[in-house]
């Protein structure tokens, strides 16, 4: 295992986010297995929230699909692994309020929770099944005008 993945593994163990991920997996009756790079996958996750097909808590990737289906989704697994690294960088569960704030900002800007969410963008929008969205029309007009007040629109 690469040194960076060992650091992520230890950081997420120490900050408690992996333990939280294991608790969420147990609550969702997910079947756990070790995967590459110090990650765990919990497949057949059964709780209705979140609505995403996969999500990560610490070094635990949780998915609604079975193990074979998840294994075939390499881009999604890479996206979720990047979220595991984000947990390490953000100090563990402190990432959750930051993530939800970023999701709120994204929704305010575009009407989509992921398109302008800095965590989703850094994890790879397309890999996570997200698409980039334009700014809401009023915000786009404001941006085109340079954000200056009192000047007539072109």
Question: 22 and 76 share a domain?
Answer: yes
User: Residues 85, 105: one domain?
Assistant: no
Per-residue model confidence (pLDDT) at position 139: 87
The range of the structural domain enclosing residue 106 comes to 94-154
Q: pTM for this structure?
A: 0.89
Same domain flag for 85 and 12: yes
The span from the CA of 41 to the CA of 77, in Å, is: 9
Tokens of 87: 């947990």
Query: Are both 87 and 106 inside the same structural domain?
Result: no
CB 61 within 8 A of CB 40: yes
* Contact call for residues 43 and 65 (beta carbons, < 8 A): yes
The verdict on 64 and 46 lying in the same domain is: yes
Mark residue 2 as left, alpha or beta (left: phi above 0; alpha: psi -120 to 50; beta: remaining): beta
- What's the pLDDT at 128? 95
Give the count of domains, the chain: 2
Domain shared by 40 and 76, yes or no: yes
Q: Are residues 69 and 109 in the same domain?
A: no
pLDDT at 114: 95
On whether the CB atoms of residues 43 and 72 are closer than 8 A, the answer is: no
So what's the pLDDT on residue 145? 80
Per-residue confidence of the chain (154 residues) as pLDDT tens digits? 899 999 999 999 999 999 999 999 999 999 999 998 999 999 999 999 999 999 999 999 999 999 999 999 999 999 999 999 999 999 999 999 999 999 999 999 999 999 999 999 999 999 999 999 999 998 888 888 875 655 555 5
pLDDT, position 111: 96
> Any bridge partners for residue 34, and if so which?
40
Neighbours of 34 (CB within 10 A): 8
CA distance 62 to 32: 9
Comparing C-alpha atoms, which of 95, 77, 74 is closest to residue 86? 95
Residue 57, CA atoms < 13 Å, CB-side half-sphere: 20
Contact by Cβ (8 Å): 70, 63: yes
């Amino acid at each position: 295992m690469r040194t960076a993945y060992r650091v992520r593994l230890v950081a997420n163990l120490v900050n408690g986010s992996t333990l939280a991920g294991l608790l969420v997996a147990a609550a969702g009756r997910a079947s756990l297995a070790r995967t590459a790079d110090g990650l765990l996958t919990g497949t057949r996750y059964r709780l209705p929230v979140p609505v995403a097909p996969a999500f990560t808590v610490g070094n635990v990737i949780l998915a609604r699909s079975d193990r074979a289906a998840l294994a075939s989704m390499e881009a999604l697994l890479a996206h979720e692994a990047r979220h595991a690294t984000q947990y390490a960088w953000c100090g563990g569960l402190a990432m959750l309020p930051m993530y939800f704030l970023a999701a709120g900002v994204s929704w305010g800007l575009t009407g989509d929770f992921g398109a302008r969410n800095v965590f989703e963008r850094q994890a790879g929008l397309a890999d996570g099944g997200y698409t980039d969205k334009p700014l809401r029309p009023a915000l786009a007009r404001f941006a085109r005008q340079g954000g200056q007040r009192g000047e007539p629109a072109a």
